[in-house]
Amino acid sequence: MAATTPGALKPLIAVCQVTSTPDKEQNFASCSRLIREAAQRGACIVFLPEAFDFIGSNTEETLSMSETLEGEQIHRYASLARECGIWQSLGGFHERGSNWESTRRIYNCHLLLNPQGHLMGTYRKTHLCDVELEGRVSLKERNFTNPGLEIVPPISTPAGKVGLAICYDLRFPEMSLALTQEGAEILTYPSAFTVTTGSAHWEVLLRARAIETQCYVVAAAQTGKNHERRSSYGHSMVVDPWGCVIAQCQEGLGLCYAEIDLAYLHRVRQEMPVAAHRRADLYGRVAALRNPPAP
């Protein structure tokens, strides 16, 4: 695509920050307003966070409100894409997959829709967050979620080649390197970090992924009180290939914007060619990116 070549115009992207609750209608109203605002501003692609559709107050509620990719929720976003003429990164959908009847578990699914509402990419979260920080955080995603089985090759968009990931994937640099080796220019980590983990690790992890891959990193985030037992950290941001934060949301619902300068990205990679210097022959099992252990 012309926009991915050095010297091309700098496309504008929009990054959303929302507070999803168990109220799906309220969530759609908030997201659709931000998508329309991004389209009016001239963004070519808008990024929504993990769990943009809803955040349930318990496992039973989460499972009961999940839908298939052919359900009403995704049809509404596809219609919105056609109405606004904008790409959408739908960063973490509670998907009932083809094995729902046998497993009664869902997938955490990142979707990419084009302006015609067509599904251009589907990534199911591979790294599930099973964490117990005494007295602070208890997350057991594996109790109700099936792990995805593969990394999806980057997808060409007007802003560049986008590599899809979700939240906890951010902690695994092997995945970001694999996506970059496949041609990614933008890595996106839609998230719902807790306040505890976000205040400690959010920005430093995003900047590290940008520096080591020399990619733009885009991170749409949940913020505020999702329900009586859950609050999210927020701080949606965009990091450039040198590791600088070039856009960030303030408190509450909203958008931040950034221009993607692929000429700059290629210059960074040329001046500091870390990909060419990588010694995969030395890294042993760590370099075996395509042979993960069975879940």
Catalytic residue positions, numbered: 50, 125, 167
N-terminal to C-terminal alpha carbon distance within the chain: 37
- Tokens encoding 154: 């980057």
Which residue carries 């992890």 as its tokens?
A: 205
Provide the CA 281 distance to its chain's centre, in angstroms.
31
Instruction: Give CA–CA dist 110/238, Å, rounded.
Output: 18
Cα–Cα separations (whole angstroms), residue 61 to 54, 92, 143, 190: 10, 17, 13, 22
**Do the beta carbons of residue 200 and residue 59 sit within 8 Å?**
no
Instruction: Give CA–CA dist 125/166, Å, rounded.
Output: 6
- Tokens encoding 34: 């931000």
